Amino acid sequence: MADNTEVIVNPKEDIVDPWTVQSSSDKGVDYDRLIEKFGSMRINDDLIKRMEKVTGKPVHHFIRRGIFFSHRELEMILEKYEQKQPFYLYTGRGPSSEAMHLGHLVPFICTQWLQETFDVPLVIQMTDDEKFLWKEEIKDPDQTYRLAYENAKDIIACGFDINKTFIFSDIDFIGGCPEFYKNICRIEKKVTFNQVKAIFGFNESNNIGQVSFPAIQAAPSFSSSFPKIFGGHTRVPCLIPCAIDQDPYFRMTRDVAPKLKFLKPALLHSVFFPALQGAQGKMSSSDPTSSIFLTDTQKEIEDKINKYAYSGGGATLEEHRKKGGDLDTDVSYQYLRFFLEDDVKLERLGKEYKTGSLTTGDLKKELIAVLQKLVGGHQEKRQRVTEDIVKQYMKPRPLNYKF
């Protein structure tokens, strides 16, 4: 289904694809159901223990708290790591607007942690061509090309190691690396319209660029797409941290990989960062009241949380003290799960809110402080990212690894 401008109110079943995320309940998407439907695996305690054993440190709180909740073949990656064999990370961003929001940070925060922990190269794809092909209001690829470079600054501000990270715009890289385009063609020859119809819901009125785009998002999963980084090696395995709505692209990729004698990429899926109004939608750059933008001022953050963040607390103070707050639907609490690193404090706040001893106002206060610091810190780091630094990250070049 192309285009998420249409919001389907109260769908009967959860809708999850790269362009639309709408849940049928106010608790949000049923992720257990989704794992079953998609055929991925839950990240369970055993897997977490294994990761901690293998890396010698606790997992990121995103993984511990089930924000990254599902995977495909993560064990294979851990095996490689144990055998001191290489793998690389691949994630991406669709640069449809200048302002990125908190939800966009989630995969990048986790990816940065993975890069640090496993010490592996990372490629980040900016799908400027995709956004041009999909957005009616974007009249020329030059616009999304520019957005790609702007968004790259926010991504770089997440702290990726310049010697281990290659960020690329599709327009630059397709128009700069024949090996990438060749892989795109190889994939395009293994996927029919019937298949993209079934996987993505395409139909006759999709433009022909949209129809073939999935091959472009698939191609970075194969190390031969990056000759300067991997020296022509075609079988360095790939791990893709992404939001679960991206999974269809990689189910398709995993299906195609063996036919090309490439390795299937492994995946780490995250849940959605809920919109301010509640867990039925996902944050969207096109709706300012649904999001906390990385450009919001301290005051804007305060106002948005106070005004729009859906409360799972009681309708009145009495009711709240009596019944307590519903942690599952309370957006402020959910946001704290993402961004309050302190496990102990999070648990305390959760208990107090649930029993009603902590009010919504006070919970929000905690959150506002956390977000102001996070966003303020991000803005500072972003300011230090110059055009030259962006260019360095985006230059096709060998990284600090030999293959």
Partner 1 sequence: MADPSVENQVNGQAEEDLVNPWTVSSSSLKGVDYDKLIKKFGSAKIDDGLIERMEKLTGKPVHHFIKRGIFFSHREMHMILDLYEKKQPFYLYTGRGPSSGSMHLGHLVPFICTKWLQETFDVPLVIQLTDDEKFLWKDLTVEETIELSMKNAKDIIACGFDVNKTFIFSDYDYIGKCSEFYKNITRVQKLVTYNQVKGIFGFDDSTYIGKISFPAIQAAPSFSSSFPHIFGGNKKVPCLIPCAIDQDPYFRMTRDVAPRLQYLKPALLHSSFFPALQGAQSKMSSSDPTSSIFLTDTPKEIKNKINKYAYSGGGATVEEHKEKGGNLEVDVSYQYLRFFLDDDEKLEKLGNEYKSGELLTGYLKKELITILQELIADHQKRRSLVTDDDVKQFMTPRKLNYNY
Q: Which is nearer to partner 1, 190 or 337 (CB)?
A: 190
Q: CA 39 → CA 33, 65, 122, 251, 262, distances in Å?
A: 10, 21, 26, 9, 21
Least distance from partner 1 to the Cβ atom of residue 190, Å: 7
User: Two tokens at 266?
Assistant: 């492994």
Burial class (CB within 10 angstroms; exposed 0-12, middle 13-18, buried 19+) of 184: buried
Least distance from partner 1 to the Cβ atom of residue 97, Å: 18
Least distance from partner 1 to the Cβ atom of residue 284, Å: 22
Least distance from partner 1 to the Cβ atom of residue 213, Å: 9
Least distance from partner 1 to the Cβ atom of residue 14, Å: 27
CA distance 110 to 147: 23
User: Two tokens at 260?
Assistant: 């090309």
Q: Which is nearer to partner 1, 163 or 207 (CB)?
A: 207
Q: Which is nearer to partner 1, 256 or 292 (CB)?
A: 256
Cβ–Cβ < 8 Å for 72, 41? yes
Least distance from partner 1 to the Cβ atom of residue 42, Å: 32
Least distance from partner 1 to the Cβ atom of residue 225, Å: 11
Cβ–Cβ < 8 Å for 80, 263? no
Least distance from partner 1 to the Cβ atom of residue 144, Å: 10
Find the length of the chain. Answer: 403
Q: Which is nearer to partner 1, 145 or 250 (CB)?
A: 145
What is the residue whose two structure tokens read 């010698």? 56
**Nearest by Cα to 235 from 261, 255, 253:** 261
Q: Phi-psi bin for 316: left (phi > 0), alpha (psi -120 to 50), beta?
A: beta
Beta-bridged to residue 241, according to DSSP, are: 268
User: What number of CA atoms fall less than 13 Å from residue 256's CA on the CB side?
Assistant: 26
Q: Which is nearer to partner 1, 181 or 401 (CB)?
A: 181
Which residues of this chain interact with partner 1, rule CB under 8 A? 129, 132-133, 140-142, 145, 171-172, 174-182, 185-186, 188-194, 196-197, 202-212, 214-215
CA distance 80 to 144: 37
Q: Which is nearer to partner 1, 67 or 211 (CB)?
A: 211
Sheet holding 122-126, edge to edge: 41-42, 68-72, 266-270, 238-243, 88-93, 122-126, 165-169
Under DSSP, is residue 144 helix (H, G, I), strand (E, B) or coil? helix
Q: Which is nearer to partner 1, 175 or 361 (CB)?
A: 175
Q: Which is nearer to partner 1, 200 or 293 (CB)?
A: 200
In single-letter form, the type of residue at position 108 comes to F
Q: What is the enclosing helix (H) or strand (E) of 269?
A: strand 266-270
Q: Which is nearer to partner 1, 66 or 141 (CB)?
A: 141
Least distance from partner 1 to the Cβ atom of residue 90, Å: 20
Q: CA 176 → CA 112, 181, 226, 288, distances in Å?
A: 26, 9, 11, 36
57: phi then psi, degrees, rounded to nearest 5: -155, 160
Least distance from partner 1 to the Cβ atom of residue 186, Å: 7
Under DSSP, is residue 168 helix (H, G, I), strand (E, B) or coil? strand
Least distance from partner 1 to the Cβ atom of residue 88, Å: 21
Cβ–Cβ < 8 Å for 122, 165? yes
Q: Which is nearer to partner 1, 214 or 324 (CB)?
A: 214
**At CA 254, angle to CA 249 and CA 256, rounded to 5?**
95
Q: Which is nearer to partner 1, 203 or 297 (CB)?
A: 203
